[in-house]
Structure 1
Amino acid sequence: MPESGLSTSQPFAARRKLLTACAIAGLFGGPGIWLLQVIVSEVLSATACYGFSAPRPAPLWNGFNMWIFAISIVAALVAALCAGLAWYGFKLARSGKRADEAHPHRHEALRSANQLHTDDALRVRFIALCSALVGTGFLVGVIFVWLAPLFVGPCGVWY
Protein backbone atom coordinates (compact mmCIF):
# COMPACT_ATOMS: atom_id res chain seq x y z
CA MET A 1 0.00 0.00 0.00
CA PRO A 2 1.54 3.34 -1.01
CA GLU A 3 2.16 5.94 1.64
CA SER A 4 0.44 9.29 1.37
CA GLY A 5 2.50 12.46 1.04
CA LEU A 6 1.31 13.60 4.45
CA SER A 7 2.82 10.70 6.38
CA THR A 8 6.24 10.77 4.75
CA SER A 9 8.91 12.81 6.46
CA GLN A 10 10.20 15.68 4.41
CA PRO A 11 13.27 17.76 5.20
CA PHE A 12 11.34 21.02 5.17
CA ALA A 13 8.42 19.85 7.35
CA ALA A 14 9.68 21.56 10.52
CA ARG A 15 10.23 24.84 8.68
CA ARG A 16 6.74 24.62 7.14
CA LYS A 17 5.22 24.04 10.57
CA LEU A 18 7.05 27.07 11.95
CA LEU A 19 5.92 29.23 9.02
CA THR A 20 2.35 27.99 9.49
CA ALA A 21 2.42 28.78 13.21
CA CYS A 22 3.77 32.27 12.51
CA ALA A 23 1.09 32.90 9.87
CA ILE A 24 -1.67 31.69 12.20
CA ALA A 25 -0.36 33.95 14.97
CA GLY A 26 -0.53 37.00 12.72
CA LEU A 27 -3.75 36.20 10.88
CA PHE A 28 -5.80 34.94 13.81
CA GLY A 29 -3.93 35.76 17.04
CA GLY A 30 -3.86 39.55 16.61
CA PRO A 31 -7.50 39.92 15.51
CA GLY A 32 -8.61 37.39 18.12
CA ILE A 33 -6.94 39.15 21.02
CA TRP A 34 -8.27 42.52 19.83
CA LEU A 35 -11.81 41.12 19.65
CA LEU A 36 -11.45 39.54 23.07
CA GLN A 37 -10.13 42.80 24.51
CA VAL A 38 -13.05 44.77 23.08
CA ILE A 39 -15.65 42.24 24.25
CA VAL A 40 -14.30 41.95 27.80
CA SER A 41 -13.74 45.70 28.18
CA GLU A 42 -17.19 46.57 26.85
CA VAL A 43 -18.93 44.02 29.06
CA LEU A 44 -17.07 45.26 32.13
CA SER A 45 -17.75 48.90 31.20
CA ALA A 46 -21.44 48.23 30.61
CA THR A 47 -21.74 46.47 33.95
CA ALA A 48 -19.71 48.98 35.95
CA CYS A 49 -20.85 52.22 34.33
CA TYR A 50 -24.52 51.75 33.48
CA GLY A 51 -27.55 50.91 35.57
CA PHE A 52 -30.83 49.63 34.19
CA SER A 53 -31.82 52.83 32.46
CA ALA A 54 -29.22 55.52 33.16
CA PRO A 55 -25.45 55.86 33.34
CA ARG A 56 -23.85 55.86 36.75
CA PRO A 57 -21.81 58.92 37.78
CA ALA A 58 -18.86 56.71 38.78
CA PRO A 59 -17.90 53.09 38.14
CA LEU A 60 -19.54 50.47 40.31
CA TRP A 61 -16.20 48.94 41.40
CA ASN A 62 -13.32 50.77 43.07
CA GLY A 63 -10.59 49.04 41.03
CA PHE A 64 -12.37 49.35 37.67
CA ASN A 65 -9.65 51.50 36.07
CA MET A 66 -7.02 48.97 37.13
CA TRP A 67 -8.99 46.09 35.59
CA ILE A 68 -9.36 47.89 32.27
CA PHE A 69 -5.66 48.81 32.33
CA ALA A 70 -4.60 45.22 33.16
CA ILE A 71 -6.78 43.76 30.39
CA SER A 72 -5.29 46.22 27.92
CA ILE A 73 -1.71 45.49 28.99
CA VAL A 74 -2.20 41.73 28.62
CA ALA A 75 -3.89 42.24 25.23
CA ALA A 76 -1.07 44.51 24.04
CA LEU A 77 1.60 42.02 25.11
CA VAL A 78 -0.13 39.09 23.41
CA ALA A 79 -0.83 41.13 20.27
CA ALA A 80 2.82 42.27 20.17
CA LEU A 81 3.92 38.65 20.50
CA CYS A 82 1.62 37.61 17.64
CA ALA A 83 2.81 40.47 15.43
CA GLY A 84 6.44 39.66 16.27
CA LEU A 85 5.92 36.02 15.35
CA ALA A 86 4.28 37.05 12.09
CA TRP A 87 7.21 39.30 11.18
CA TYR A 88 9.63 36.54 12.12
CA GLY A 89 7.72 34.23 9.78
CA PHE A 90 7.95 36.82 7.01
CA LYS A 91 11.69 37.18 7.56
CA LEU A 92 12.05 33.41 7.54
CA ALA A 93 9.99 33.10 4.35
CA ARG A 94 12.07 35.73 2.59
CA SER A 95 15.39 34.15 3.48
CA GLY A 96 14.47 30.50 3.30
CA LYS A 97 15.63 28.02 0.72
CA ARG A 98 13.72 24.78 0.39
CA ALA A 99 15.80 21.63 0.26
CA ASP A 100 13.16 19.41 -1.34
CA GLU A 101 12.39 18.65 -4.94
CA ALA A 102 9.06 19.96 -6.18
CA HIS A 103 6.53 17.31 -7.11
CA PRO A 104 4.37 18.49 -10.03
CA HIS A 105 0.65 17.89 -9.75
CA ARG A 106 -1.55 16.89 -12.68
CA HIS A 107 -2.49 20.47 -13.57
CA GLU A 108 1.11 21.62 -13.18
CA ALA A 109 2.69 18.84 -15.24
CA LEU A 110 4.06 21.24 -17.85
CA ARG A 111 5.86 23.42 -15.33
CA SER A 112 9.48 22.86 -14.43
CA ALA A 113 10.58 22.07 -10.90
CA ASN A 114 12.25 25.48 -10.67
CA GLN A 115 9.02 27.26 -11.67
CA LEU A 116 7.06 25.27 -9.10
CA HIS A 117 9.61 26.12 -6.41
CA THR A 118 9.46 29.82 -7.30
CA ASP A 119 5.64 29.84 -7.29
CA ASP A 120 5.51 28.07 -3.94
CA ALA A 121 8.06 30.46 -2.41
CA LEU A 122 6.06 33.45 -3.66
CA ARG A 123 2.85 32.06 -2.16
CA VAL A 124 4.54 31.47 1.19
CA ARG A 125 6.03 34.99 1.20
CA PHE A 126 2.66 36.53 0.30
CA ILE A 127 0.88 34.72 3.14
CA ALA A 128 3.69 35.64 5.54
CA LEU A 129 3.49 39.32 4.50
CA CYS A 130 -0.31 39.37 4.88
CA SER A 131 0.06 37.78 8.30
CA ALA A 132 2.64 40.35 9.39
CA LEU A 133 0.52 43.27 8.18
CA VAL A 134 -2.67 41.96 9.79
CA GLY A 135 -0.87 41.25 13.06
CA THR A 136 0.66 44.73 13.10
CA GLY A 137 -2.63 46.40 12.20
CA PHE A 138 -4.46 44.70 15.03
CA LEU A 139 -1.62 45.52 17.42
CA VAL A 140 -2.27 49.18 16.57
CA GLY A 141 -5.99 48.53 17.20
CA VAL A 142 -5.23 47.03 20.61
CA ILE A 143 -3.15 50.08 21.48
CA PHE A 144 -5.96 52.44 20.43
CA VAL A 145 -8.48 50.52 22.54
CA TRP A 146 -5.98 50.74 25.40
CA LEU A 147 -5.62 54.52 25.01
CA ALA A 148 -9.33 55.28 24.62
CA PRO A 149 -10.17 55.20 28.36
CA LEU A 150 -7.27 57.57 29.02
CA PHE A 151 -8.73 60.20 26.68
CA VAL A 152 -12.44 59.64 27.27
CA GLY A 153 -12.51 58.25 30.79
CA PRO A 154 -13.46 54.74 31.83
CA CYS A 155 -17.19 55.48 31.81
CA GLY A 156 -17.18 58.12 29.07
CA VAL A 157 -19.08 57.85 25.81
CA TRP A 158 -16.73 56.85 22.94
CA TYR A 159 -18.87 58.08 20.08
Structure 2
Amino acid sequence: MTARRERILYALQQIYALLGAPLAWIVQICVCEALAAQACYPAQDPLVHPDLHALGAYIGAVSLVCLAVALGGLTAAWRGWRTLRQGSGTNPDRRAGRFLFRVAILSSPMFVLGLLVTAMAALIVSPCKPW
Protein backbone atom coordinates (compact mmCIF):
# COMPACT_ATOMS: atom_id res chain seq x y z
CA MET A 1 0.00 0.00 0.00
CA THR A 2 1.38 3.39 -0.89
CA ALA A 3 2.04 6.04 1.72
CA ARG A 4 -0.47 8.39 0.14
CA ARG A 5 -3.20 5.77 0.25
CA GLU A 6 -2.40 5.02 3.90
CA ARG A 7 -2.72 8.72 4.78
CA ILE A 8 -6.07 8.94 2.99
CA LEU A 9 -7.41 5.82 4.74
CA TYR A 10 -6.14 7.12 8.09
CA ALA A 11 -7.88 10.46 7.52
CA LEU A 12 -11.12 8.70 6.56
CA GLN A 13 -10.86 6.53 9.67
CA GLN A 14 -10.51 9.64 11.83
CA ILE A 15 -13.46 11.35 10.15
CA TYR A 16 -15.64 8.26 10.52
CA ALA A 17 -14.58 7.81 14.14
CA LEU A 18 -15.37 11.41 15.02
CA LEU A 19 -18.54 11.94 13.00
CA GLY A 20 -20.06 8.47 12.55
CA ALA A 21 -22.11 8.35 15.75
CA PRO A 22 -23.27 12.00 15.86
CA LEU A 23 -24.32 12.00 12.21
CA ALA A 24 -26.10 8.66 12.62
CA TRP A 25 -28.11 10.11 15.50
CA ILE A 26 -29.01 13.22 13.49
CA VAL A 27 -30.05 11.09 10.50
CA GLN A 28 -32.16 8.91 12.75
CA ILE A 29 -33.98 11.88 14.22
CA CYS A 30 -34.53 13.59 10.86
CA VAL A 31 -35.70 10.49 8.98
CA CYS A 32 -37.94 9.18 11.76
CA GLU A 33 -39.52 12.59 12.32
CA ALA A 34 -40.13 12.99 8.59
CA LEU A 35 -41.73 9.53 8.39
CA ALA A 36 -43.93 10.23 11.39
CA ALA A 37 -44.91 13.65 10.07
CA GLN A 38 -45.93 12.26 6.68
CA ALA A 39 -47.82 9.34 8.23
CA CYS A 40 -49.63 11.29 10.94
CA TYR A 41 -50.04 14.80 9.52
CA PRO A 42 -50.68 14.47 5.77
CA ALA A 43 -53.00 17.51 5.88
CA GLN A 44 -53.82 20.23 8.37
CA ASP A 45 -55.43 17.95 10.94
CA PRO A 46 -53.52 15.13 12.66
CA LEU A 47 -54.70 11.56 12.20
CA VAL A 48 -55.60 9.29 15.10
CA HIS A 49 -53.55 6.40 13.67
CA PRO A 50 -50.66 6.58 11.23
CA ASP A 51 -51.53 6.45 7.54
CA LEU A 52 -48.56 4.14 7.05
CA HIS A 53 -49.32 0.79 8.72
CA ALA A 54 -45.69 -0.32 8.94
CA LEU A 55 -44.47 2.95 10.45
CA GLY A 56 -43.02 1.18 13.50
CA ALA A 57 -41.11 -1.24 11.28
CA TYR A 58 -39.69 1.60 9.20
CA ILE A 59 -38.64 3.53 12.28
CA GLY A 60 -37.09 0.38 13.73
CA ALA A 61 -35.19 -0.34 10.51
CA VAL A 62 -33.85 3.22 10.28
CA SER A 63 -32.82 3.04 13.92
CA LEU A 64 -31.00 -0.27 13.43
CA VAL A 65 -29.07 1.02 10.41
CA CYS A 66 -28.12 4.19 12.28
CA LEU A 67 -27.09 2.15 15.31
CA ALA A 68 -24.85 0.00 13.10
CA VAL A 69 -23.22 3.11 11.64
CA ALA A 70 -22.69 4.59 15.11
CA LEU A 71 -21.19 1.37 16.48
CA GLY A 72 -18.94 1.21 13.41
CA GLY A 73 -17.67 4.70 14.22
CA LEU A 74 -16.97 3.67 17.79
CA THR A 75 -15.13 0.59 16.54
CA ALA A 76 -13.07 2.70 14.13
CA ALA A 77 -12.14 5.01 16.99
CA TRP A 78 -11.13 2.11 19.23
CA ARG A 79 -9.04 0.45 16.53
CA GLY A 80 -7.35 3.70 15.55
CA TRP A 81 -6.47 4.50 19.15
CA ARG A 82 -5.09 1.00 19.75
CA THR A 83 -3.06 1.12 16.55
CA LEU A 84 -1.48 4.43 17.51
CA ARG A 85 -0.93 3.32 21.09
CA GLN A 86 0.88 0.18 19.99
CA GLY A 87 3.14 2.16 17.71
CA SER A 88 2.28 0.55 14.39
CA GLY A 89 0.71 3.69 12.92
CA THR A 90 2.58 5.58 10.22
CA ASN A 91 1.14 9.00 10.97
CA PRO A 92 3.89 11.53 11.79
CA ASP A 93 1.73 13.36 14.31
CA ARG A 94 0.68 10.44 16.50
CA ARG A 95 -0.15 12.54 19.52
CA ALA A 96 -2.87 14.48 17.72
CA GLY A 97 -4.25 11.26 16.28
CA ARG A 98 -4.45 9.64 19.70
CA PHE A 99 -6.26 12.72 21.01
CA LEU A 100 -8.83 12.66 18.20
CA PHE A 101 -9.47 8.96 18.67
CA ARG A 102 -9.88 9.45 22.44
CA VAL A 103 -12.41 12.20 21.85
CA ALA A 104 -14.30 9.88 19.52
CA ILE A 105 -14.13 7.02 22.05
CA LEU A 106 -15.52 9.27 24.77
CA SER A 107 -18.27 10.93 22.72
CA SER A 108 -19.55 8.04 20.60
CA PRO A 109 -21.15 6.07 23.47
CA MET A 110 -23.26 9.12 24.36
CA PHE A 111 -24.61 9.27 20.82
CA VAL A 112 -25.20 5.50 20.78
CA LEU A 113 -27.21 5.92 23.98
CA GLY A 114 -29.10 8.79 22.33
CA LEU A 115 -29.86 6.53 19.38
CA LEU A 116 -31.20 3.80 21.64
CA VAL A 117 -33.34 6.15 23.70
CA THR A 118 -34.71 7.90 20.62
CA ALA A 119 -35.60 4.53 19.05
CA MET A 120 -37.31 3.34 22.23
CA ALA A 121 -39.29 6.56 22.52
CA ALA A 122 -40.34 6.42 18.87
CA LEU A 123 -41.44 2.80 19.16
CA ILE A 124 -43.19 3.11 22.55
CA VAL A 125 -45.01 6.43 22.13
CA SER A 126 -47.39 6.69 19.20
CA PRO A 127 -46.11 9.32 16.78
CA CYS A 128 -49.65 10.56 16.12
CA LYS A 129 -50.32 11.57 19.69
CA PRO A 130 -49.63 15.18 20.67
CA TRP A 131 -46.63 15.65 22.92
Do both proteins adopt the same fold according to a TM-score greater than 0.5, normalized to the shorter chain?
Answer: yes
Work out whether 1:63 is the aligned partner of 2:54: yes
Corresponding residue of 1:154:
127
Alignment partners' CA distance in 1, 2:87 and 2:102: 14
Alignment partners' CA distance in 1, 2:55 and 2:74: 28
Work out whether 1:34 is the aligned partner of 2:7: no
| Identity over aligned pairs, percent | 30
Figure out how many residues of one structure are paired with residues of the other and give that number. Answer: 130
Q: Which runs of 4+ in 1 moved over 4 A?
A: 97-100
Letter in 2 for 1:61: L
Work out which of the two has the higher radius of gyration on C-alpha atoms and give 1 or 2: 1
Unpaired runs of 5+ in structure 1?
A: 1-8, 103-119
Alignment partners' CA distance in 1, 2:105 and 2:58: 29
Corresponding residue of 1:24:
15
Corresponding residue of 1:74:
65
Structure 2 CA distance for partners of 1:62 and 1:129, relative to 1, 3 Å? same
Corresponding residue of 1:145:
118
Letter in 2 for 1:153: S
Unpaired runs of 5+ in structure 2?
A: none
Coordinate RMSD, CA, aligned: 2.5
Corresponding residue of 1:131:
104
